[in-house]
Chains A and B, each alone.
Chain A
Amino acid sequence: MLFQKFSILFLSLLFINVSNSSKKLEEKINNEIKSVFQLETFQKENIEVSEKLKISLQKDFVISNFKKIKKGDSNLGFYYVGKAFGKVDYFDFIVIFDNNLIVEKIKILIYREDHGGEIRSKRWLKQFIGKTIFKELNYPKDIVGISGATLSVKSMTRAVNNVLKSVGILHKNEII
Chain B
Amino acid sequence: MKKLTLIATLLIVSIVVNAQENNQENAGQKLLSNKNNGVTIGGYAQIDYNEKNGHDAGKLDVHRLVLLFGYKFNDKVSFLTEIEMEHVKEIYVEQAYLKYKATENLNVLAGLMLVPMGIINEFHEPTTYHGVERPNVDKYIVPTTWRELGIGVSGNLSEVSLKYQAYIFNGFKSYVGGIGVLRGSDGLRKGRQKGAESVISNANLSTKIDYYGVPGLRLGLSGYFGKTQTEDTHIEGSQVGVSMIGLDARYKYQNLELRSQYITTSLTDTEEYNTLTGKDLGSKLNGFYAELAYNFNLKGEEKLTPFIRYEKYNTHAETEGIVANSSFDKDEVLVGMSWKVADGAAFKADYQIVNNAVSGSDAQKTFNAGVAIWF
> Which A residues are within 8 Å of any B CB, using their own CB?
4, 7-8, 11-12, 14-15, 18, 21, 59-62, 82-83, 85, 87-90, 108, 110-114, 117-118, 120-124, 127, 140-141, 144-150, 154
Task: Assess whether B26 is interfacial by the CB under 8 Å rule.
Answer: yes
Instruction: Choose among B75, B156, B218 the residue with the greatest number of A CB atoms under 10 Å from its CB.
Output: B156
- Cα distance, A41 to B68, chains bound together (Å): 46
Residues of chain A within 8 A of B213, CB atoms compared: 121, 123
A148: which of B40, B76, B210 is its contact (CB, 8 Å)? B210
Q: Which residue of B lies closest to A83 (CB)?
A: B24
B215: which of A15, A87, A123 is its contact (CB, 8 Å)? A123
The smallest C-beta distance from B216 to any residue of chain A, in angstroms, reads: 5
Interface contact A88-B70, CB-CB below 8 Å? yes
B1: which of A4, A114, A118 is its contact (CB, 8 Å)? A4
A62: which of B23, B29, B68, B254 is its contact (CB, 8 Å)? B23
Interface contact A62-B250, CB-CB below 8 Å? no
- Cα distance, A3 to B69, chains bound together (Å): 38
The smallest C-beta distance from A35 to any residue of chain B, in angstroms, reads: 14
Residues of chain B within 8 A of A15, CB atoms compared: 7, 10-11, 14
Known contacts A15-B11, A18-B14; 18 additional CB pairs below 8 A are A15-B10, A61-B24, A83-B24, A89-B40, A89-B70, A108-B158, A112-B72, A114-B154, A121-B158, A121-B161, A122-B158, A123-B212, A124-B161, A140-B255, A144-B216, A146-B218, A148-B123, A148-B210
- Cα distance, A7 to B163, chains bound together (Å): 44
The smallest C-beta distance from A96 to any residue of chain B, in angstroms, reads: 17
Task: List which B1-38 residues lie within 8 A (CB) of chain A.
Answer: 1, 3-4, 7-8, 10-11, 14, 21, 23-26, 29, 33, 35
Residues of chain A within 8 A of B1, CB atoms compared: 4
Chain A interface secondary structure, helix, strand, loop or mixed?
Answer: mixed
Interface contact A87-B42, CB-CB below 8 Å? yes
Q: Which 8 A-B pairs have the closest CB atoms?
A: A147-B250, A117-B156, A120-B158, A88-B70, A121-B161, A147-B218, A88-B40, A144-B215
Interface contact A127-B11, CB-CB below 8 Å? no
Interface contact A89-B3, CB-CB below 8 Å? no
Interface contact A122-B128, CB-CB below 8 Å? no
Chain B interface secondary structure, helix, strand, loop or mixed?
Answer: mixed
Interchain Cβ contacts under 8 Å between A and B, 27 examples: A4-B1, A4-B4, A8-B4, A11-B8, A11-B11, A15-B11, A15-B14, A18-B14, A21-B75, A60-B26, A62-B21, A82-B24, A83-B25, A89-B33, A108-B158, A111-B156, A114-B99, A114-B154, A117-B155, A120-B158, A121-B156, A121-B212, A121-B213, A122-B159, A123-B161, A123-B213, A144-B215
Residues of chain B within 8 A of A62, CB atoms compared: 21, 23-24
Interface contact A8-B7, CB-CB below 8 Å? yes
A117-B163 in contact given A60-B24, A90-B33, A145-B252 (Cβ < 8 Å) = yes
- Cα distance, A172 to B135, chains bound together (Å): 52
The smallest C-beta distance from A56 to any residue of chain B, in angstroms, reads: 16
A59-B104 in contact given A114-B109, A145-B252 (Cβ < 8 Å) = no
- Cα distance, A59 to B26, chains bound together (Å): 8
Task: Assess whether B166 is interfacial by the CB under 8 Å rule.
Answer: no
- Cα distance, A117 to B163, chains bound together (Å): 8
